[in-house]
Each structure stands twice: as structure tokens, then as C-alpha cells.
Structure 1
Amino acid sequence: MSIHQPPGGQPLRSIDALVEAGLAAPDKRDALRKVAERYAVSLTPAIAGLIDPADPADPIARQFVPDAAELQTLPQELSDPIGDDAHSPVEGVVHRYPDRALLKLVHACPVYCRFCFRREMVGPGGDALTGHKLDAALAYLAARPEIWEVIMTGGDPFILSARRVREVARRLAAIPQIKVARWHTRVPMVDPGRITPDYARALRMPGKASYIAIHANHPREFSEAARTAIATLADAGHVLLGQSVLLKGVNADVGTLSALMRAFVENRIKPYYLHHPDLAPGTAHFRLTLAEGQALVKSLRGNLSGLCQPTYILDIPGGAGKVPVGPAFLSPCEAPGAEALAEDRQGGLHRYPPA
């Protein structure tokens, strides 16, 4: 694989920069500029360096390099596919479930995933949640005794400085009913140099359980620098969870998905959610059917350690929330003396007796 870095080691934030770096074809420049006019573009040096420009189907490029297919919006696709706005009582807070709430600290990311479900809301220039807006969001959380967990998201909250995350952590730690803090990020994979021991300490909330959900979709994202960043977070006492999106052309095959889940576990990250792609505008080329996804997830069971098993999740369009849609291994049985048929990993069926 050809490894290279962008000129000057700077993020690639324009189609011209992608063409110059050899990551986009010159004859596609005009079409891709139309994509960039609608959706944000940014590739960090760490991500650009993982792409093989000689491979037209490179799975890292597919995640981050714009594609003209993004200009095709299907009727069922939604600008707010999981209904954040309908559950946002104050700016920066999404309160969809009784015992937990999202705190959207920023609207920008170090990279912009081409399948992002918030792609209509994130991008450079978006305001961070600061000042009176942050005060109002924290006041909302403090006034709800049912909120047990707060999930920091955005954008990517790890683009904030250590000083800023330390301030947020301190203020959340002062809310007694909040017992769990969870940060969602791609930074350890896409900009691993940001994760220093001081940064890892800044994320801690005294007296609270601290979780970090790290998003990765392909085993190649686990570079040596990424592994070092992950170890820094784990060694600081954070519990690490893995999140992935099942993406056609990236990880929608048994071999890649298995290697991805093993890479998580080898790096002290417990696979948590494997998301079915959301109905975000211009993302149809990433989606596969639920039945195809279920078959892939079913293939993991029994062939990979239980530590490597994520929950296959569908976020119901419109804001009704997440539901597990993993494959079933039990089916009803009408035979005498049996309550159900249990399917083993080879496809064999076994009667299970009634209680």
C-alpha cells in the first residue's frame, strides 16, 4: 500500500487539495465541488496517510473522500434522520430516553464521514456550546433527577482543548444525579496525536464512571499511532466501547467485520453498537438491507469470541429511538414437549423444553 502525507501535514479541506494529494481524480473535480458545496470535507493527515490512492475501492477513502453519489437524495432520506430536533428541549441537549441525554458540545469534526447522520448539521464554522448556551444546557440536566448518564457528542467533542473538556467535566461532576459520563469520538483513530496523558486525565469526572465510545469502521484504522492513543485513554482509567456503522464497500463482509471486532478487543475496547446506516441524505450507496446485515452479524456468533459481539442496532427514523435488530436464534415450536427451536452456529435446530 502506498502511504503518503498531505503537503505540509495539514488537513485536506477542499476538492483541489484532494486532487493535489492524489486522492481524487482531476476529471471528477467539478462534480465533487458540488458535493463539497453541500457537505463538509476534511481529512486529517493520519487518515490521508492510510489511503491507498491506487485502489479505487479503498475502504478508508470510501469513508472520507467525497463521492458524486452524495448528490442523489432518495425520497425516504431525511435531513434529521433520527429526530434530534424533536427531542431537543434546549440548544445542545437531546433528551430522547428518560435516564440519559446527549450534550452536543460542538458542531465540527476533525474529519467528515461521508455517511454521517448529522451531515446536514455539522461542519466548520458551527458554534461551540459556550457561555450562556452551555449554562442553559447544564441547568436543564441539573433540573432533571431522572438523568443518570450524559453523553458528550457533536460533532466530535475531542476537538476541544484539554482546558475546555476539563471545565465541562468539572461542571457535570457537580450534578449529583449524573453518575455516568460517556464521550463519543473518532479522534483516537483520525487525529491520534491529540490524545496525550493530560488530555486523557482532563476527561475524567471525579466520582463518576467514565466511558469513551470510539468510532472505527475498518481494521486498518488501528494504526500504531491510534493504538497508542487508545492505550493512553485506557491507562487513564476510562472504560472503552466500540461503535461502528455497517457500510457497503467498507466492512460489509465477514472477514473485514471479524477483523474489526477483534481489533477493538485487542485494544481493550468492548464492541458496543454496530449501527445500520441511517437514512441521511445522499448515503444510499453505503446502505445494505436489514436482512443482509442480520446475516453478517449472525456469522459472527460462534465464530468469534463473545467479547467481539456488538449489538446490531437500528435507529428508527423520525426519533423513536434505537432498537436491536440482530438475528434470531430461537423460533416457535409446536412439537410436544418443546417450547422453542434453538439454532446453533452450524444451522442445526434443537428442541428446547418448556419451563
Structure 2
Amino acid sequence: MAGSRPIRTPKELLAQHLIQEDQVAAITDVAKRYALSITPAMRSRIVELDDPVARQFVPTEDELTSLPEEREDPIGDDPFTPVKGVTHRYPDRVLLKPVLVCPVYCRFCFRREVVGPGDSMLKESQLAAALDYIRSHPEIWEVIFTGGDPFIMSPDRLRPILRALDGIEHVKVIRFHTRVPVVDPDRVTEDLVEALTMDTPVWVVVHTNHSQEIGDGARRALRLLAGSGIPLVSQTVLLKGVNDTPEALEDLFRTLIVNRVKPYYLHHGDLAVGTSHFRTTIKEGQALARSLRGRVSGLCQPTYVLDIPGGHGKVPIGPTYLNGNGTVTDPWGIAHTYPPKTTED
């Protein structure tokens, strides 16, 4: 039975029957390094100890294993941080990270070295400097709230930041990356929706990896956001043992579309320290992406992407259907000829 507060310690995991007694020592070592939190909403979605929800949020001893290629900053945020809380990798958009706390901590998180309790909020002076940076760079067309999870902030904390951005002429789009509508849906309130409603359009990217995560609370939260006119898209991480089957991905993407969320990105797992047990190969990911083509509606098709380690950007790595011999392969694997050049009138 899920409690009324998040699970935050190995002892609480044991009390909730999510780990065994002989695992407590190892999980304590994991928790000393990486933050731990499981919301009541996610505890209620865990049916078995090793199911797709449990694997995402319950720590395991595997996290203590690191590989030489893994990195503390796998996507290279640090070199592109002109002021604290801002990452400016692409010319026309910046990440704004006002908070480094999450309602849950994914065991595969690419920012697992920096999120969690501690110095987790930008100070007022740091936030002012971040907003000044955005004001002084007219090439910035989009501001993307991330973190941590920006929806963990109260509407009263979000309003002044959003009003400041709304007043910057060259900022045309504001985007939020969040897990909250799924993992802590009670935070999605009319008050939050009101805070997000302004002249500058706000988009919300919902992170979810398996349909089992999406319960009645999540459906209510998504309905409230979508019904208020806020466009919703999703991002999903391809995770071994969680969603690395055609059936799991199909079910997730269909569930999202039914809840008015357009699948946007399917991320290849990042090279975060202690996460090798979650990563598939790119070849496996391409095969899974190919399996969806023709199997489900085009509305259900995300772009399979890789964030190149070292801060070199995100690129699509999905399968190709054009062959080198002048043929194109259809969704069912049959090759068809296509003329290299059409006749011009």
C-alpha cells in the first residue's frame, strides 16, 4: 500500500517491501551517492519488485558498477554554462534550470550527479543573472525549463520567472520538461495552469517510459493541461528491461496519444555513470523504431535520438528505408524500386 509521503531511504524501501533485508547495505551505499525518492503515485503503480515501474525508481546494486566510457556530465552541459542555471548549446534556445530537485529520482538519470537534496534552488541573484543573460541575447527564441523538475516549484515561485520571460520580446516559446504530471499528478492544479497561461505560448514535454506509470491521476493531470490549451508532447528513454520491446513501446505511445500527448523523442540511453544495465545498443534501438513503422499510427511515432557525448548536440539515429541499390523498403520489410530522378516536363 502506498503511503502519503515519498519513500526516501533504504529502510523505507524495505518497509514497503521493495527491497529485501540482504539488500539494505548495498542500497545504502547507492543512496549515499545518488538521490532516492519514490512518490506515492509511483509506489501505487509498482505491482512486482522487478516490473517496469520498479526498475525505473528502486535503486539496485548495479548502480555501483561504472564503465570507462561513462561520464559524470554525459551530454556535456558544463562547457555551455555561461551563468549558473543556464545551458546555451544551440544558438536559438537555452535551458533554464531554476531547481535541481525532482519528485522522483530515475535510476538512469543523466544528471544524477547533480540533482537531489542540497543547494538545489537558484538564489535570487543567480536567477536574476540568468534572466539578464536571456535578455541580452536576442538570438534566444526558446527557453526550456528543466532541472531537476521545474513543476516541483509552486505556481507562486514560477509566476515571476514566467512574467519576466513573457516580457522579453525575442523569447517566443517557453517549454517545460517534467515528469510531474505522471509521477506526482496532484501538483498539476488550476493554479499551476493559470501560471502557465500568458501571451508567450507554453509547451510541456512529459517524460514517461511505460504505460504502467500512467494511472487515473496522470490522466486527470494531462487532461487538465491539454484542456487548458497547453500543447503536450512526450520524451521517453529507451531502457533495457523496461520498454525495450515493440509491445511496450506501442502500448506507451498509444496511451499517450489517447491522452492527447504527442510522442516526441525516444532517447537512446546516455552514458551516465552506473547506468550500463539500462542501455540497449543503437542497433537494437533502430530495430525497435523500425518495428513501430506501419504497426502504429504516424501520430504514435517519436524520433529516435542520440545526445552525442561531450555536448555535440542531439541527432536522429533511427533506421533508414532507402537502400543503396535504388530501392526503398516498406514498413513490412519488402523492397521496392524507386527511380533516382523523376522526369521533368
Q: TM over 0.5, yes or no?
A: yes
Shift of 1:125: 2.0
Shift of 1:341: 1.3
2:189 counterpart (196, 203, 218)? 196
2:323 counterpart (331, 336, 342)? 331
SS in 2 for 1:330: coil
Shift of 1:168: 1.2
Shift of 1:167: 1.3
SS in 1 for 2:164: helix
Confirm whether residue 33 of structure 1 aligns to residue 28 of structure 2: yes
1:286 paired residue number:
278
1:349 paired residue number:
335
SS in 2 for 1:271: strand
Shift of 1:265: 0.5
2:259 paired residue number:
267
In structure 2, what is the Cα distance between the partners aligned to 1:213 and 1:101?
15
In structure 2, what is the Cα distance between the partners aligned to 1:232 and 1:56?
32
Shift of 1:126: 2.8
Return 5+ residue gaps in structure 1 as ranges.
334-339
1:226 counterpart (211, 218, 231)? 218
SS in 2 for 1:70: helix
The one-letter code sitting in structure 2 at the alignment partner of 1:235 is G
The one-letter code sitting in structure 2 at the alignment partner of 1:34 is D
1:20 paired residue number:
15
In structure 2, what is the Cα distance between the partners aligned to 1:235 and 1:76?
44
In structure 2, what is the Cα distance between the partners aligned to 1:127 and 1:62?
25
In structure 1, what is the Cα distance between the partners aligned to 2:123 and 2:300?
38
1:111 counterpart (104, 113, 121)? 104
Shift of 1:105: 1.1
1:336 paired residue number:
none
In structure 1, what is the Cα distance between the partners aligned to 2:170 and 2:123?
23
The one-letter code sitting in structure 2 at the alignment partner of 1:167 is P
Shift of 1:26: 1.1
1:213 counterpart (185, 198, 205)? 205
Aligned length: 341
Aligned partners of 1:108 and 1:126 also within 8 Å: no
2:2 paired residue number:
5
Q: With the length of structure 1 as denominator, give the TM-score of the two structures.
A: 0.95
**Identical amino acids, percent of aligned pairs:** 54
2:40 paired residue number:
45
Aligned partners of 2:92 and 2:139 also within 8 Å: yes
**Superimposed CA distance per residue, residues 212-270 of structure 1 (whole angstroms, 9 cap, x where no aligned partner):** 00000000111011000011111111100111000001000010110001111111001
1:101 paired residue number:
94
In structure 2, what is the Cα distance between the partners aligned to 1:351 and 1:11?
57
1:58 counterpart (46, 51, 60)? 51
SS in 2 for 1:5: coil
Aligned partners of 1:41 and 1:111 also within 8 Å: yes
Return 5+ residue gaps in structure 2 as ranges.
none
In structure 1, what is the Cα distance between the partners aligned to 2:103 and 2:120?
15
Aligned partners of 1:106 and 1:127 also within 8 Å: yes
SS in 1 for 2:323: strand
Aligned partners of 1:197 and 1:236 also within 8 Å: no
1:314 paired residue number:
306
In structure 1, what is the Cα distance between the partners aligned to 2:334 and 2:77?
43
Confirm whether residue 178 of structure 1 aligns to residue 164 of structure 2: no
**Superimposed CA distance per residue, residues 9-44 of structure 1 (whole angstroms, 9 cap, x where no aligned partner):** 111000000000111111100010000000000000
Shift of 1:129: 1.8
2:249 paired residue number:
257
Confirm whether residue 68 of structure 1 aligns to residue 64 of structure 2: no
2:131 paired residue number:
138
**Superimposed CA distance per residue, residues 36-94 of structure 1 (whole angstroms, 9 cap, x where no aligned partner):** 00000000000011112xx3421100000000000001000000000000110110000
SS in 1 for 2:157: helix
The one-letter code sitting in structure 2 at the alignment partner of 1:207 is D
Query: Runs (4+) of structure 1 moved beyond 4 Å?
Result: none
In structure 2, what is the Cα distance between the partners aligned to 1:203 and 1:15?
36
The one-letter code sitting in structure 1 at the alignment partner of 2:33 is R
Shift of 1:184: 0.5
Aligned partners of 2:19 and 2:49 also within 8 Å: no
Aligned partners of 1:218 and 1:260 also within 8 Å: yes
Q: With the length of structure 2 as denominator, give the TM-score of the two structures.
A: 0.97
